[in-house]
Copies of this chain bind each other. A is one copy, B any other.
Amino acid sequence: MTRRTVIGVIGPGDDASAAEREAARRVGQLVAAAGWVTLTGGWNAGVMDAASRGAREAGGLTVGLLPGRDAEGASPGVEVVIPTGLGEARNNLVVLASDALVCCGMSAGTASEAALALRAGKPLVLVAPAQETAAFLRSLRRGEPIAVADAEAAIVALKRLLEPS
Q: Which residues of A contact B (CB under 8 A)?
A: 1-4, 6, 37, 56, 61-63, 65, 69-71, 74, 76-93, 96-97, 106-109, 111-113, 115-116, 118-120, 130, 132-133, 135-136, 139-143
Contact = CB atoms under 8 A, between A and B. Distances in A.
Majority secondary structure of chain A interface residues (helix, strand, loop or mixed): mixed
A91 B93 contact: no
Contact of A71 (B3, B133, B136): B3
Contacts of A135: 132, 135-136
A31 to B, nearest CB: 14
Copies in the complex: 4
The 10 A-B pairs at the shortest CB distance, nearest first, are namely A136-B136, A111-B115, A85-B87, A108-B119, A112-B115, A89-B92, A108-B118, A89-B89, A82-B97, A112-B112
A141 B133 CA distance: 13
Contacts of A88: 85, 92, 116, 119-120
Nearest to A93: B84
Contacts of A62: 2
A142 B85 contact: no
Given A86-B89, A108-B116, A108-B118, 13 more contacts: A3-B80, A6-B81, A61-B61, A63-B80, A85-B87, A85-B96, A86-B93, A89-B91, A92-B92, A112-B115, A132-B132, A132-B135, A135-B135
